[in-house]
Amino acid sequence: MVFPITSYIVFVYQGEVGTHAPHFPSLDEAEKFANDLRAITKLTVSEPIPVVATEEVKIPTCLQD
């Protein structure tokens, strides 16, 4: 079974504060964010990393809205 990419994450590191990891729905949005942040700050910014579901969970119908 192949699980889909659910989002993309970009790690942003600043020594005094720590790490922040925003998620983006598409690779294009994640790349734009990472490139823009690199251009205007001196923060350490990762390349976008795909987030992949690793298991499928079935929620019982009695717990669904």
User: What are the CA-CA distances from residue 28 to residues 17, 41, 48, 51, 64 (Å)?
Assistant: 27, 20, 9, 14, 33
- What share of the chain has pLDDT > 70, as a percent? 94
- 14-44 pLDDT, tens digit per residue, is 989 899 999 999 999 999 999 999 999 999 9
List of residues 6+ apart from 30 with CB closer than 8 A: 8, 9, 10, 24, 48
Of 12-16, 23-27, 51-55, 57-61, the least confident: 57-61
For residue 13, the cross-strand partners are 19, 44
